[in-house]
Amino acid sequence: MTGKLDLDPVLVARARELARRAGRPVVELARSHTTVSVERAVLRLAGVVGADPDGIPWVNRLVDAVVADVGLGHGVALPVFDALVREQTTDVTLLAQKAAAGSVRFQVPSGRAATAARRAARRAVAAGIRRIDRRRAERDRLVRRYGDPRQRPWIYLIVATGDIYEDIPQAQAAARAGADVIAVIRSTGQSLLDYVPEGATREGFAGTYATQENFRLMRAALDESSKELGRYVRLTNYASGLCMPEMATLAGLERLDMMLNDSMYGILFRDINPVRTFVDQRFSRQVHARAGIVINTGEDNYLTTADAVDEAHTVTVSQLLNEYFAHEAGLADWQLGLGHAFEINPDVPESFRLELAHALLARELFPDAPLKWMPPTKHMTGDVFRGNLLDGFFNLVGTMTGQGILLVGMMTEAVVTPWLSDRDIALQNVRYVLGAAGGLHEDFVPAPGGFIQQRAHRVLAEAVGLLERIGAQSVLTAIAEGTFGIMKRPADRGKGLDGVARHEAGYYNPATEILEQPGAGGRVPGSRSEEVRP
Amino acid sequence: MSEQKIVRPYGDTTGDGMVQVSFTLPVPHDKRAEGAAVQLANKMGVDPALLVHAKPIGDGFTFFVVYGRVNHLVDLSAVRVVERDFPLLGAKEVNAVVKRRLRRKLSVVGACIGTDAHTVGIDAILNVKGIAGEKGLEYYRELSVTNLGAQVSVPELVEAARVARADAVLVSQVVTQRDAHLHNTREMSAAFREAMPAGRRPLLIVGGPRFDESQAAELGVDRIFGRGTTPGEVASYLVHALITGRKATVA
């Protein structure tokens, strides 16, 4: 710890212990349940591709067919690979097509058939995971060749026109103008689709659909940009909503570099069933760990619904929970882009000092995590001149407190989707602040016992207080009772609940088995390959 | 002075007509680009136009800032404003009015009806996430929101409205093939008329990008919201129609 805030190490350790205690029942829940999306992700790893003429992916059709015959609780791996043997084919996509036509019956195999299906399923899924490993090794190679951005924080910029072929030149222009990370915002409402659309897409609502083909096209374009610019330009998308595990899988297969992946966002803001979310989240984080993907968590969202001063401690609590869930799933500290945001009302006296205190608290609590610093949105009024000043102060906090990823704020926030000139002005703002004060964090040491230290201590104490209240119950109860944000989300309600099942005896998921092998996660940066045991 | 009808923009002297504009042209930065910017400013009525800033951005684009005197006059007596027929309230005000005047939660039931699976609209209005930086109706403490999602049948909707004792029913329709949105809306309003007596019927609201906002009476609903409607507008309308505006009509 750098120790600028003189935090009490005993209290910090207690906060982590309480987060672990609050999160553990959720992990137990995730370990004992599966979801349709987890199973579809397994099938994607096993090589099922494409969609039917109506655009419904074959993985959906196949999972639905298995569920109709034997239910979800056994997992789909055994019934599917058992049927492959009986159908005398090795092509899983072909099996999906036959199943959709109703010409295949599924059963849960036993005895020697089960052993054979298990081995075949594991072999097929291991091949998919090897593809993810190769993409990770490829990233490592490209980063070595082209290099990381020269400065911290990395500059993160959003594009999203709805049309992937329009997004590509915009993303390349943004990279040329200084962006280190490009995020393609998804179409409104994609998080509530229970399938992943297919192919290149040219229309979306306030965003571009996340599809495997769109991922591939954008990654290829940014590879060109990386080569041109001599620095590796990263690509971000969203592993959230009902298809979180599949998004993570597709991101791994197409070498995306960062994924938005919050533990509670879907529950609170999209009314997705809590159990569905936690099960999906754990699997998606295991995939991210393996793929060397940096996750971005969504704590900024709490502050857009609640007061950024009064509720600052809920951000800290969520960061601690996200950290616990992430570590449990195998993610290493360098993969934790824990989120927080500059959302205090600028009319509050000393708002800048409060922001500094909160940002520094996050920095010192999570010294090895990159931290994602999010710009003001709530108090952007349409007064673009004031907005530009506010963004400048946001950038200043970012560099003074050593944030890892800086999402570039737009002065036209809440006015229009950013124009070319808005982006240019915003990047100019960032460049000025980082250029003029990039090393200020070396000199910036808050006065001992002063305003900033006191504020940080208070937020930490309030976070510990909240965790103690949660600790007596569990995170699920806390969510049901409306502790986070203001939404009450009981565990037996919400979207996607019908796609959740408790494991039956003999449940088998080869992906989880491989991903949970010791040392399988992202703890050591670098590549490794999955050995298939005969 | 306060009664003057004709005004000009104000820079630092009454009547100087000074304005500042900024824009981007899709041309690389050179002398010709600057001339093009001045030409555009002139056509906008800015003459003389003072080009104070020109900067290349991206490939083949230039950003300009222009100051100058605009030769247009503003006739205040000719200003026509289309008034919204209800006041726009913030979330706090909406909550306060419901709490004080209704003294219970205002119940809202929303759905996409028919075969329409596009929940984009209803989710933008209802989900906490909201749209364009505005939180959805779930965010309002004094509103109780039931979002039934997509492909809800009309009988299901009527039943859900009854169970939730809905004060208002919100229906979103995106698909317009063969005027499906109009048929569905008529079917929905007829079903509510049949199922509930006039005084007990919830407020019926439909929304979608292809509706004509003036067709409400024809479709049998109380209000239509078109493209670009925000949750705040819907919440303000609910308060107006169910609480603050109702008093006047009853009295």
Task: List CB contacts (< 8 A) between A418 and chain B.
Answer: none
Residue pLDDT, tens place only, B16-67: 999 999 999 999 999 999 999 999 999 999 999 999 999 999 889 999 999 9
In the block, tokens 């929101």 appear at B145
Q: Taking every pair of C-alpha atoms in chain A, what is the biggest distance, in angstroms?
A: 74
Where does the pLDDT of residue B148 fall: very low under 50, low under 70, confident under 90, or very high at 90 and above?
A: confident
Collect all residues with Cβ–Cβ distance below 8 Å to A498 and sequence separation of at least 6: none
Identity at B99, one-letter amino acid code: K
B6-77: which CATH number, 3.30.70.580, 3.30.43.10, 3.30.30.60, 3.60.20.10? 3.30.30.60
Where does the pLDDT of residue B151 fall: very low under 50, low under 70, confident under 90, or very high at 90 and above?
A: confident
Tell me which residue of B188, B182, B203 sits closest to B109, measured CA to CA.
B203
Question: Would you tell me the crossing angle of helices A77-87 and A111-146 to the nearest 10 degrees?
Answer: 110
| CA dihedral sign, ordered A447, A392, A395, A348 | positive
In the block, tokens 């655009």 appear at A55
B137, B77 in Cβ contact below 8 A? Answer: no
* pLDDT of amino acid B147: 86
* pLDDT of amino acid A523: 43
Task: List CB contacts (< 8 A) between B63 and chain A.
Answer: 420-421, 424-425
- The partner residue sitting opposite B127, judged by closest CB among A271, A414, A420, is A271
Residue of B nearest to A495 (CA): B149
Q: What is the ipTM of this complex?
A: 0.83
Backbone angles phi, psi at A11, to 5 degrees: -70, -40
* pLDDT of amino acid A268: 81
Q: CA end-to-end span of chain A, whole Å?
A: 46
Domain ranges (residues) in chain B? 6-77, 91-250
Q: What is the DSSP string of A341-361?
A: E--S-TTSTTHHHHHHHHHHH
Ordered by where they begin, the domains of chain A are 33-126 (no CATH), 151-458 (3.20.20.440)
Distance CA A217, CA A143 (A): 19
Identity at A172, one-letter amino acid code: Q
- The partner residue sitting opposite A414, judged by closest CB among B58, B59, B132, is B132
- Indicate which residue of B43, B105, B129, B247 is catalytic: B129
Based on the number of CB atoms within 10 Å of its own CB, is A374 exposed (0-12), middle (13-18) or buried (19 or more)?
Answer: buried
| CA dihedral sign, ordered A31, A36, A39, A41 | negative
Where does the pLDDT of residue B248 fall: very low under 50, low under 70, confident under 90, or very high at 90 and above?
A: very low
Quick check: A497 contacting B, CB < 8 Å? no
- The partner residue sitting opposite A485, judged by closest CB among B58, B128, B149, is B128
Distance CA B216, CA A318 (A): 45
What does R_g of chain B's alpha carbons equal in angstroms? 25
Helices and strands (H and E) in chain B: how many: 8, 10
Residue pLDDT, tens place only, A468-514: 998 877 888 888 887 776 667 888 888 899 999 999 999 999 999 99
Distance CA A309, CA A11 (A): 21
DSSP state of B99: I
Partner residues linked to B146 by β-bridges:
B109
Helix, strand, or coil (residue B77): helix
* pLDDT of amino acid B114: 78
What are the residue numbers of the active site of A?
Answer: 265, 300, 372
pLDDT > 70 in chain B, percent: 93
In the block, tokens 């800015």 appear at B46
B61, A177 in Cβ contact below 8 A? Answer: no
DSSP state of B138: G
- Is there a shared CATH topology between the B6-77 domain and the B91-250 domain? no
Task: List CB contacts (< 8 A) between B138 and chain A.
Answer: 271, 487
Tell me which residue of A333, A404, A339 sits closest to A377, measured CA to CA.
A339
Minimum distance, in Å, between the CA of residue A343 and any CA atom of chain B: 13
A337, A403 in Cβ contact below 8 A? Answer: no
Homologous superfamily (CATH) of B91-250 is Cobalamin-binding domain (3.40.50.280)
Note whether B129 contacts A176, CB cutoff 8 Å: no
* Pairs across A and B, CB distance < 8 A: 63
**B197 token code pair:** 């007596």
Distance CA A31, CA A46 (A): 21
Instruction: Give the helix ranges, DSSP H, for A450-496.
Output: 451-471, 475-480
**A169 token code pair:** 């030149």
- The partner residue sitting opposite A270, judged by closest CB among B24, B118, B129, is B129
Q: CA end-to-end span of chain B, whole Å?
A: 42
Collect all residues with Cβ–Cβ distance below 8 Å to B103 and sequence separation of at least 6: none
Residue pLDDT, tens place only, B191-238: 999 999 988 899 999 998 888 888 888 999 999 998 878 899 999 999
A178, A172 in Cβ contact below 8 A? Answer: no
Tens of pLDDT along chain A (534 residues) come to: 458 999 999 999 999 999 999 999 999 999 999 999 999 999 999 999 999 999 999 999 999 999 999 999 999 999 999 999 999 988 999 999 999 999 999 999 999 999 999 999 999 999 999 999 999 999 999 999 999 999 999 999 998 888 999 999 999 999 999 999 999 999 877 888 999 999 999 988 778 999 999 999 999 999 999 999 999 999 999 999 999 999 999 999 999 999 999 988 888 878 899 999 999 999 999 999 999 999 999 988 777 767 789 889 999 999 999 999 999 999 999 999 999 999 999 999 999 999 999 999 999 999 999 999 999 988 887 889 999 999 999 999 999 999 999 999 999 886 777 888 999 999 999 999 999 999 999 999 999 999 999 999 999 999 999 999 988 778 888 888 877 766 678 888 888 999 999 999 999 999 999 999 976 554 444 333 333 333
Based on the number of CB atoms within 10 Å of its own CB, is A333 exposed (0-12), middle (13-18) or buried (19 or more)?
Answer: middle
Tell me which residue of A153, A184, A336, A341 sits closest to A261, measured CA to CA.
A336
* pLDDT of amino acid A487: 67
* pLDDT of amino acid B117: 63
